[in-house]
Structure 1
């Protein structure tokens, strides 16, 4: 398994990877939102390769002294295998290298918040139907152990 920076040549594979999580974890309209992110809003974005395939992706965006996890997902057939945790840990290490970050934030859904909760994030807010009808936004902040 290799975690490496995203390249524009990864676009179709990353979009296909997201599709494995629609509609269970993401709304269909979020497909175009991810494209917009990858073309215009990306700061740090990583992919996880296993063999010749990209099996996970996730990014970090920064605003002042806050770091935000952005667009993270694992191939739906590989949920629960530890790949997501390795990608999360990679990004936490990358953020800690910055030295000036005071909060690490993730905005996720009711379908994925449990993963973040198990990995040190605490719920601060919840907004119903935020991402799409039936997909709430759970605002969480990392609490280092």
Structure 2
């Protein structure tokens, strides 16, 4: 397993990962959002490869406050879920965040389906907005102090 920086050539494999996780974890409406994100909002985005195939991805974006790093667009191939790839990628990003000057808080907006995963890293639920992403996909906003994050 190798974690490396995203390249634009990875986009189609990432879109395929999203499709493989739709509609279980993502709404079909989110594909357009992901394409836009990859084209316009990538700051720090990473892919996980096994034998040259992208099996996971996820990013970091910095909030305007200069104090918060946001974990964004985590996706793992269904055949590789539960095998430590998501955890390895999250730990990797927490390490990268620790290297960023001035960051005090880690934040993530996820769904009711995945938020227990982030609790393992010390993120705490702060807000729930029903049907935020799409009908049946609630937004769970979570955060923690960088100092108390578990890796």
TM class by shorter-chain length?
over 0.9
- The SS at the match of 2:24 is coil
- The SS at the match of 1:95 is helix
When the two structures are aligned, how many residues end up with a matched partner? 145
- Which whole-Å CA distance do the structure 2 matches of 1:142 and 1:9 have between them? 33
1:78: Cα distance to partner? 1.3
TM-score (norm 2): 0.93
Of the three residues 73, 84, 87, the one matched with 1:85 is 87
1:99: Cα distance to partner? 2.8
Residue aligning to 1:15: 15
The two structures, once aligned, show a CA RMSD in angstroms of 0.9
Residue aligning to 1:58: 58
1:35: Cα distance to partner? 0.2
- Which whole-Å CA distance do the structure 2 matches of 1:84 and 1:17 have between them? 13
Q: Deviations over 1:53-89 (max 9, x none)?
A: 1000000000121100110111012111000000000
* Runs of 4+ with >6 A deviation: none
Alignment of 1:1-145 (within 5 A): 1-63=1-63, 64-143=66-145, 144=148
- Which whole-Å CA distance do the structure 1 matches of 2:79 and 2:57 have between them? 14
Structure 2: gaps of 5 or more residues: none
1:142: Cα distance to partner? 2.6
- Which whole-Å CA distance do the structure 1 matches of 2:16 and 2:87 have between them? 21
Structure 1: gaps of 5 or more residues: none
1:20: Cα distance to partner? 1.1
